[in-house]
Amino acid sequence: MNALTHEKLYSLEQYARLRPEFRARVIAHKKNRQLPIGPHATLYFEDALTMQYQVQEMLRLERMFEPELIQEELDVYNPLVPDGHNWKATFMIEYSDEDERRQALATLIGIEKKVWMQVEGCGKVYPIANEDLDRETEDKTAAVHFLRFELTPQMIAAAKAGAAIRAGIDHDRYRESLTVPAAVRESLVADLG
């Protein structure tokens, strides 16, 4: 696993100097890790670099330098780093209008379990969702979910060999599917061991 460690992080002083370049690098990297699925749902695929950015920003904002507190941050974000046989993503349901969002979240309960990824020639993979805590109530789902898509060795081999990757959502109130664009596909294949 590409887990983040203390040694892989910049000190607060180093990060202050490097932040503009590091931030620009991460923003460019994230462009190939976003996958809109229809008009109101997006998968933001995470990896060691995206999580390092999250940790570095938290340490900077909180002025954190104590090893124990840094480890707590690492323990929070490391579970979102893929380990070679899965893809991990932040799934966001996005409506700009607050009333529309509230109404949609009330009708989209369970949507996080209906998101899927599929390597050509293999079955759909539905995610393990929200391992940290439940993010829905009987009245609504959350706008943000954390998903883990576990892949078989056959799926990994096919993806690495160039098979197309598709994604979609099979919820009764939100049905969409698409072929993953080449740049995003390449980024996802790089996550595989």
For the stretch 176-192, pLDDT in tens is 999 999 999 999 999 99
Query: What confidence category does residue 139 fall into, taking pLDDT thresholds of 50, 70 and 90?
Result: confident
For the stretch 54-72, pLDDT in tens is 999 999 999 988 989 999 9
Cα–Cα nearest to 155, from 88, 85, 89, 80: 85
Distance CA(95)–CA(40), nearest Å, equals 6
Query: What confidence category does residue 132 fall into, taking pLDDT thresholds of 50, 70 and 90?
Result: low
Mean pLDDT, the chain, rounded, equals 94
Q: Which amino acid is located at 90 in the chain?
A: T
pLDDT at 135: 67
Distance CA(182)–CA(188), nearest Å, equals 10
CA distances from 134 to 51, 76, 130, 143, 176 (A): 21, 16, 6, 12, 24
Q: Is the pLDDT of residue 92 over 60?
A: yes
Query: What confidence category does residue 99 fall into, taking pLDDT thresholds of 50, 70 and 90?
Result: very high
Q: Which two tokens stand for residue 94?
A: 């996005």
Q: Is the pLDDT of residue 76 over 80?
A: yes
Instruction: Compute the CA torsion angle 23, 45, 191, 76 (nearest 10 deg).
Output: 80
pLDDT at 15: 95
Q: Is the pLDDT of residue 1 over 60?
A: no
For the stretch 141-152, pLDDT in tens is 999 999 999 999
